[in-house]
């Protein structure tokens, strides 16, 4: 999976900077972290995580808000797709038709060489609307709630498979640290 993702991203990652000036302006550090993840052979969803992380920081800083944690994540994923990260749109049945269509449009935009700019009126309207929303979408409790509800929807087999896949990119030191952290978590849960 990783090798095909990297091959697919080879061309599109060079376009990350090409789009930086025209969409919701991902920061240079975010683009660089995404490129670094691609070089390390990490999956497109891991690379997209950098954009989601940036979005959470923006909300916490007060640049804008979001109606819900899901919306904040969706903004980050959209930004990642438009920046050239090879994150495929969700499959049928995984999201609504409207969401899938929007994701497909963002993905196509990021993978193409189109130089079409974003409408400044639409951009301004989006920014103003988001500025009116609350800031609690990026709080620790909101993110924790969202992570738990997302994990509940997945089967244990699915979670196990993704954990095995993640451990392959960690390396020896990373696996060792993860094991120590898991042991700490088990101890703290046992003491409750």
* DSSP element (H, E) containing 153: none
Residues 54 and 76: beta-carbon distance below 8 Å: yes
pLDDT tens-digit readout, 65-103: 999 999 999 999 999 999 999 999 999 998 999 999 999
Give how far Cα 174 sits from Cα of 141, 168, 182, Å: 27, 10, 12
Q: Say what the pLDDT of residue 170 is.
A: 81
The pTM for the full model equals 0.73
Distance, CA of 98 to CA of 101 (rounded, Å): 5
Distance, CA of 148 to CA of 140 (rounded, Å): 12
Name the nearest CA neighbour of 89 among 75, 102, 103: 103
């Amino acid at each position: 999976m990783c090798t095909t993702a990297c091959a697919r991203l080879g061309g599109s990652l060079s376009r990350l900077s090409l789009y930086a000036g025209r969409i919701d302006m991902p920061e240079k550090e975010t683009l660089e972290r995404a490129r670094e993840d691609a070089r390390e052979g990490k999956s497109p969803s891991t690379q997209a995580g950098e954009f989601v992380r940036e979005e959470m920081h923006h909300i916490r800083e007060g640049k804008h808000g979001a109606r819900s944690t899901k919306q904040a994540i969706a903004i980050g994923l959209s930004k990642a797709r438009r920046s050239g990260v090879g994150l495929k749109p969700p499959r049928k049945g995984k999201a609504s038709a409207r969401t899938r269509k929007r994701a497909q449009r963002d993905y196509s935009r990021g993978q193409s060489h189109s130089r079409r700019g974003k409408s400044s009126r639409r951009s301004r309207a989006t920014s103003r609307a988001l500025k009116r929303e609350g800031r609690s979408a990026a709080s620790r409790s909101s993110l924790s709630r969202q992570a738990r509800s997302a994990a509940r929807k997945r089967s244990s087999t699915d979670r196990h498979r993704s954990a095995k896949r993640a451990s392959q990119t960690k390396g020896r030191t990373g696996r060792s640290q993860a094991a120590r952290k898991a042991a700490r978590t088990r101890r703290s849960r046992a003491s409750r």
